[in-house]
Amino acid sequence: MSKKKYEPGLPTKDALREFIHSSGDALNKREIAKAFSIKGQQDRIALKQLLKELAEEGVVAKDSGKSYKAPDALPATGLVEIVGLDVDGEMVAKPLDWQGRGPAPVIFVTDSRRTEGALSPGEQILVRMKRVSATEYEARILKTLDDITGQIIGVFKPYKDGGYVYPTNKKVKEDYFVPHEFAKGFAEGDLVVAEQLPAGGKYPRSKNPVRIVKRLGKKDDPRLISLIAIHSHGIPTEFSQEALQEADGMQEPDLSGGRVDLRAIPLVTIDGADARDFDDAVFAEPDQTPGNEGGWHLLVAIADVSYYVQPNSALDKTALERGNSTYFADRVVPMLPERLSNDLCSLKPKVNRACLACDLWIDKNGKLIAHKFMRGLMRSAARLTYEEVDNAHKGYPDDTTGPLLEPVIKPLYKAYSILKHARELRGALEIDLPERKAVIDDKGMITAIIPRHRLDSHQLIEEFMILANVATAEALEKKNAPCVYRIHDSPSFDRLENTRLFLKELGYSLPKAEDLKPKNLNHILRLSADKPDKELIHTLLLRTQSQAIYSPDNLGHFGLALERYAHFTSPIRRYADLVVHRALVRSHRLGAGGLEDGEMETLHEIAEHISQTERRSMLAERDVMDRFTAQYLSTNVGKEFPGKVSGVTHFGLFVSLDESGADGIVPMRSLPRDYYIHDEKRHALVGKQSGRSYRLAQAVVVRLLEADPMRGSTVFELVDASGGGDAGPAPRRNFDRNRRRDKPAHKNKKAGEKHRRGKGGKKRR
C-alpha cells in the first residue's frame, strides 16, 4: 500500500486514482476508507460512488474479490529488462512477463546506487515499482541480475605471459584477466571482444578470467569508436547470404499490376547534403476542384519497400531483427542491404522507381479533406538539399534549383505556409531541441562539433510527412485495418504535477494533467522566451514528456496534438513504416506484399520489438557521440569552458558546454565541501551547511579534468557557478582524476571515510 499520507476525509477523484495506482496490491473499500480516515456512513456511500465512477471510466479495475487496482497493474516488485534510455537519459525498462492487454507499460528506472553510466540494454534487474500513469511506471533498483556470459569490449594489455582487458564501458570498474593460452597473438592497445570464463574450475585463483574471441583493431584508430557501440549494444551488422541473394536478384517493376504512371509529375527529393538514400519525394499545386478555393493538392511519394521485402522472406527477417537503421557520425548500419537501401528503394533522380504514393487535398486552412493511396512508378525530377531549396526560396537559386523555382519550389512553400498555420492553430508542441553534428575527416578524426541549423526547408518536409502520416492512420481506420500507430502519451500525472507546482513558484501557471494541452506548454515557452529562466523552463517542460513508442492501440500523439498518427514515410530505415505499407497494400488491394494473417496476430509483439530496437539505436548513437566528443576534447584537458547544468543527481551534476554541446559529469566529491541534499522537486543540490545551491539550467564555468574517447567519459570540475545567483565561485579541490572513482582523495582510509561523512556520521551524498 502507498506510504503517502493523505488528508483525512472524502478524497477527490484524482487523489483516489493516484492512491490506487500507487498501491502495488488490490485494495478493498475498507482499506481505502482507512487510508483516508473515512468513518461516517455518508462519506462511505460517496466513496463507493467515486470508486464506481472510476471503474466505469476504466481508470481503475474491480476484481472478482470486489477489490480495486490499477488496470493491468504490475506488481509492486518484479523483474524487468533494460531496453535503453529516453531523451532525458533516464533508463527505460520493460516487464519480463507482461500478461496485460495492449503494449507493456514503460518503466523509468532510477538507480540510486551507481554514480556514473547506465545499465546496458538486455540487463535484468529486480525493481520496486510505482505506477505514475496508465502506461508508465517509475522504479527503483533492488538488485541487478547481470548475465555473466555477456561479451566485454575492452583494451588488451599484456602482463607476464597473459594479460588484462580493460573495459570501454565506463560503468564497469573491474578489469578482466586473460590466461596465457587466450592471450597469444594479441598486442598492447588492441581493442578486443572477450567472453567470461566459468568461475573456479581451471582458473580458481584468477579474478574475472576471460578469453578473447575477436580483435576489432587498435584503440587509437578513431574508426573503432562506432564499432564499440555496435558490439556493446548488440546491433546486427551482417546480412544473411539468403537476404543478400534475394536483394541482388531484384529489379524495378514496370506499369503492370495496376501501377499508376507518375513519371510526368516533377516530384523532388529534399534531404541533407550527406544523405545516401532518398525515400520520400514531394510535389504541390493549387487545387482546381470546385468548392475548394484556396486549397491545395499535395503528392507524397514513398519508396515501395513492401514490393521488394515480402513477409517472411530472408530480407524481412533481417529487417525485423534490426528494426531500423542506426546512424553514427562516421557510418550507417542500414536496415536493408545496400542493393535496396542505396539503389532500388532510393528515389534517385531521372530513373524509374517503384513508389507507394498518397494524394492529399487540404483546404485553405490546412485541414485534410481527402486522400487517396496508390502504387505508382515515378521518376524524381531532382535530388535537392535543404540548403539548396532554402537558398532558392530566398532568391539565390543555382543551376539545379533555378529551373524548378517557379513550377516546384514556390508551390511547395505556399502549401507549407498553410500547413504551418494549421499546426499553430492545432497547438502542436513547439519545444525545439538544439542538435549538433560531429564533423569527421577522412582519417575518422572529429574536427568540429557544429550546430545543425533548422531551416524552413526542414520544416516544410516535416509538415508534408506529418500530413501523409495522418492520412495513413485515417485511411487504415476507415478500412477497419490493423495499424502500427506512433503514439505519444500525455505527461504522467506525477511528473506534471511536480513541474506544475515548481513553475507556480516561478510565477507560471499550468493547468492540471487532465486538462493539459500542448498549447498550454507553448504558452509557457513564449512567456519565458525573453526571461533569465528560459533554459530552465524549456528543460523542465521537455522532461515532463513521455516516450513515443509504436503500438497497434491508438492513444493519439500528444506532442503533435493529433488524434491518430502512423509512420509511413521512411520504410527504407524503419520497419514500422514497412508494416504500415503492408497494411495499406492489403486493405486497399494494391497488389502483392500485403500484411499477412500471421503478422496481424503478432502486431503487439512487433510493435514492442521495434520500439526497443529504436531505443537501442538511440542509446548507441548517444554513446558514439559521447566518445567522439571526448576525443574532440581530449587535447583540451585543463582548459575552462562555459556551460549549463543539464542534470542534477544525488551523485553530482551533469554539465553541457555552450560551444560544443559536449556533456560531462561534475562528481559530487569535486564540489566545495558540504553535505549536499538533492532536492528533486526543485532540481537542485543544496549545501546543508553553506546554503550554496546548484540547479538545473544554471550557468557555470567548468575545467576539463578527463576526456577518454574509449570509455566516452568526460569529467569536469566546477570553477564558477555565479550564473545561478546563489552559488559563488567554487574553490578548486584536490581532485586526482587518475584515482579510482570509488576511493576518497585521502591517503588514510579512516580520514577518507570521515571526509565522506557529514555531521552525525551520515554518508556524504
Identify the pLDDT of residue 347.
97
What value does the mean pLDDT take over residues 95-112?
A: 72
Provide the CATH number for the domain formed by 13-69 in this structure: 1.10.10
What angle is formed at CA 332 by the lines to CA 327 and CA 337, rounded to 5 degrees?
A: 130
| Range scoring the smallest mean pLDDT among 153-162, 291-300, 386-395, 739-748 | 739-748
173-182, 632-641, 747-756: range with highest mean pLDDT: 632-641
Q: Residue 194: phi, psi to the nearest 5?
A: -125, 155
pLDDT surpasses 70 at 750: no
What value does the mean pLDDT take over residues 573-588?
A: 97
- Residues 597-656: tens digit of each pLDDT: 989 989 988 998 999 899 899 989 988 998 899 999 999 999 999 999 988 888 889 998
- Residues 451-461: tens digit of each pLDDT: 888 899 999 99
pLDDT surpasses 90 at 10: no
- Give the SS3 label for residue 482: coil
- Residues 467-525: tens digit of each pLDDT: 999 999 999 999 999 999 999 988 877 778 878 888 888 888 888 767 788 888 998 98
pLDDT surpasses 80 at 43: yes
What value does the mean pLDDT take over residues 315-321?
A: 96
What value does the mean pLDDT take over residues 354-369?
A: 97
Q: Residue 351: phi, psi to the nearest 5?
A: -130, 150
Higher pLDDT, 235 or 3: 235
- Residues 393-423: tens digit of each pLDDT: 999 999 999 999 999 999 999 999 999 999 9
> Domain 637-761 adopts which CATH fold?
OB fold (Dihydrolipoamide Acetyltransferase, E2P) (2.40.50)
Cα–Cα distance for residue pair 451/449, rounded to 1 Å: 7
Neighbouring residues of 88: CB distance < 8 A, sequence distance ≥ 6: 542, 543, 647
Cα–Cα distance for residue pair 389/401, rounded to 1 Å: 7
What value does the mean pLDDT take over residues 375-390?
A: 97
Cα–Cα distance for residue pair 386/399, rounded to 1 Å: 15
Identify the pLDDT of residue 64.
54
Q: CATH class for domain 77-145?
A: mainly beta
CATH number, domain 151-221, options 2.30.30.830, 3.30.200.20, 3.30.1360.80, 2.40.50.700: 2.40.50.700
CA distances from 294 to 174, 290, 300, 417, 671 (A): 67, 10, 20, 12, 62
Higher pLDDT, 114 or 184: 184
Identify the pLDDT of residue 747.
36
Higher pLDDT, 734 or 577: 577
The identity of residue 498, as a single letter, is N
Cα–Cα distance for residue pair 575/316, rounded to 1 Å: 9
- Would you mind telling me the total number of residues written for the chain in this entry? 765
- In the chain, % of residues over pLDDT 90: 45
The CA R_g of the chain, rounded to the nearest whole Å, is 28
pLDDT surpasses 50 at 147: no
Contacts from 592-596 at CB under 8 Å and sequence distance 24+? 592/257, 592/307, 592/310, 593/306, 593/307, 593/309, 593/310, 593/311, 594/306, 595/311, 595/481, 595/482, 596/311, 596/312
pLDDT surpasses 50 at 230: yes
State the average pLDDT for the chain.
Answer: 84
- In the chain, % of residues over pLDDT 70: 86
